[in-house]
């Protein structure tokens, strides 16, 4: 590899908005045969909004006030959606005490002398909350590629809130380009199976791993490297930093968090997934020129 041809390649990649931060990332990108994509903020816009509110007792306003009372303390994109919806409807968030966020599960605090929880089904059921009465409402949310979040006070289910995040308009095209380049594409998400399947179907992804806890994303990357793949990880969040660092090449979405950007070899300034096939093409051309 001549320093000159690498410099030309780095410059060319920059024209596509792909900033090479680690010297060897450009050359390694030519060998990539598996790209693993985070879902939220990577394939999707990362600004979810509330699509459905269903209260067991029919009082949707109280349900949202309680949920907002929890989520105003959280920095998760899902939390932002719920707080904004409550504001839009001029609902006052309920007071809660002792807020805690549980990675990959949800949030909890004390309210009215009991534990108020908002999060995914698996977590609430493990806490002894029966949710079958909310099955139909939850399925409607999942079929629309949304995420159902269940609210319970103590062991009593209060309702379900649907939050959905739009897919970036060019994600599907960028994924098709990766397939055309002979690269396998996989999605990894903390979200549930049904929602992941809906997003995968809409973007042409044939493989996904759902309900992956944040700390386990890096293990998925390492396992695929262990199978002989040269792996790229693409992500935007603090959650994704270890997985970005574990990959042969990490691609951070430029609008994402600083921690993600610092853990990745390449930053995609335009936020679009097209930066990944762009970088691979430039990389392959650069390596061809070298030999
Ligand atoms: P992702 O990979 O989709 O960004 P996370 O690991 O951040 O996923 O979250 C996984 C799941 O944990 C969410 O889909 C949600 O069910 C639950 N969860 C995480 N944070 C919150 C929160 N602040 N409020 C409600 N649920 C949450
Ligand atoms: Mg994300």
**Do residue 180 and residue 286 come from a single domain?**
yes
Query: Ligand nearest 122 Cα, by number?
Result: 1
pLDDT tens by residue, 33-46: 999 999 999 999 99
pLDDT tens by residue, 75-108: 888 999 999 999 999 999 999 999 999 988 999 9
| Ligand 1 site-directed mutation target among 189, 191, 236, most atoms within 8 Å of CB | 191
**Do residue 152 and residue 171 come from a single domain?**
no
Q: Which atom of ligand 1 is nearest to the CA of 71?
A: 23
Query: Which amino acid residue places its CA nearest to atom 13 of ligand 1?
Result: 191
Pocket (CB within 6 angstroms of ligand 1): 39-40, 71, 74, 76, 78-79, 101, 104-107, 118-120, 147, 149, 189-191, 214, 239
Residue at a domain's end among 117, 132, 164: 164
Look at residue 1 in the predicted model and tell me its pLDDT.
61
Q: Is the distance from CB of 18 to CB of 268 less than 8 angstroms?
A: yes
Distance in angstroms (rounded) separating the CA atoms of residues 162 and 145: 10
pLDDT tens by residue, 49-74: 999 999 999 999 999 999 999 999 99
**Do residue 82 and residue 152 come from a single domain?**
yes
For the chain, the farthest-separated pair of C-alpha atoms sits apart, in whole angstroms, at 71
Angle, helix 275-290 to helix 171-180, in steps of 10 degrees:
30
Look at residue 92 in the predicted model and tell me its pLDDT.
97
pLDDT tens by residue, 172-182: 999 999 999 99
**Do residue 139 and residue 73 come from a single domain?**
yes
**Do residue 286 and residue 173 come from a single domain?**
yes
**Do residue 253 and residue 270 come from a single domain?**
yes
What number is the average pLDDT over the span 188-217? Answer: 94
**Do residue 280 and residue 184 come from a single domain?**
yes
**Do residue 183 and residue 269 come from a single domain?**
yes
Strand partners, 52: 162
What spacing in Å lies between the alpha carbon of 120 and ligand 1's midpoint?
8
**Do residue 77 and residue 109 come from a single domain?**
yes
CATH number of domain containing 154: 3.40.1110.10
What spacing in Å lies between the alpha carbon of 106 and ligand 1's midpoint?
6
Distance of CA 80 to CAs 51, 86, 190, Å? 13, 10, 17
CATH number of domain containing 275: 3.40.50.1000
Residue at a domain's end among 140, 164, 188: 164
**Do residue 67 and residue 37 come from a single domain?**
no
Look at residue 255 in the predicted model and tell me its pLDDT.
81
Residue at a domain's end among 116, 145, 164: 164
Q: 92: exposed, middle or buried (C-beta count within 10 Å: 0-12, 13-18, 19+)?
A: exposed
**Do residue 212 and residue 127 come from a single domain?**
no
Q: Is 38 a catalytic residue?
A: yes
Distance in angstroms (rounded) separating the CA atoms of residues 42 and 35: 12
Considering 38, 191, 236, 248, which one is annotated as catalytic? 38
**For the chain, how many structural domains are there in total?**
2
**Do residue 285 and residue 200 come from a single domain?**
yes
Residue 178: CB partners within 8 Å, gap ≥ 6? 35, 185, 276, 277, 280
Query: Which amino acid residue places its CA nearest to atom 11 of ligand 1?
Result: 104
ipTM: 0.94
The domain of 16 spans 3-45+167-290
């Amino acid at each position: 590899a001549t320093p000159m041809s690498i410099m030309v390649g780095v410059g060319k990649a920059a024209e596509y908005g792909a900033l090479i931060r680690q010297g060897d990332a450009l050359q390694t990108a030519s060998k990539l045969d598996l790209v693993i994509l985070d879902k939220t903020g990577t394939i999707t816009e990362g600004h979810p909004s509330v699509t459905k509110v269903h209260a067991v007792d029919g009082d949707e306003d109280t349900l949202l006030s309680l949920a907002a009372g929890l989520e105003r303390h959280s920095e998760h994109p899902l939390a932002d959606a719920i707080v904004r919806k409550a504001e839009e409807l001029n609902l006052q968030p309920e007071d809660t005490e002792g807020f805690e966020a549980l990675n990959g599960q949800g949030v909890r605090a004390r309210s009215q002398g009991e534990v108020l929880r908002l999060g995914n089904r698996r977590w609430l059921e493990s806490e002894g909350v029966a949710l079958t009465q909310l099955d139909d409402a939850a399925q409607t949310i999942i079929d629309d590629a949304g995420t159902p979040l269940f609210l319970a006070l103590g062991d009593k289910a209060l309702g379900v809130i649907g939050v959905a995040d739009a897919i970036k308009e060019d994600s599907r095209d960028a994924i098709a380009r990766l397939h055309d380049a002979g690269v396998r594409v996989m999605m990894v998400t903390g979200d549930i199976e049904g929602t992941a399947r809906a997003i995968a179907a809409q973007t042409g992804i044939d493989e996904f791993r759902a309900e992956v806890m944040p700390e386990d994303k890096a293990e998925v990357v390492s396992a695929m490297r262990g199978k002989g793949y040269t792996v790229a990880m693409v992500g935007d969040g603090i959650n994704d930093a270890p997985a970005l660092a574990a990959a042969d090449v990490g691609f951070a979405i430029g609008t994402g968090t600083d921690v993600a950007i610092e853990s990745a070899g390449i930053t995609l300034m335009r936020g679009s997934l097209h930066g990944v096939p762009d970088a691979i093409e430039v990389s392959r051309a650069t390596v061809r020129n070298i030999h």
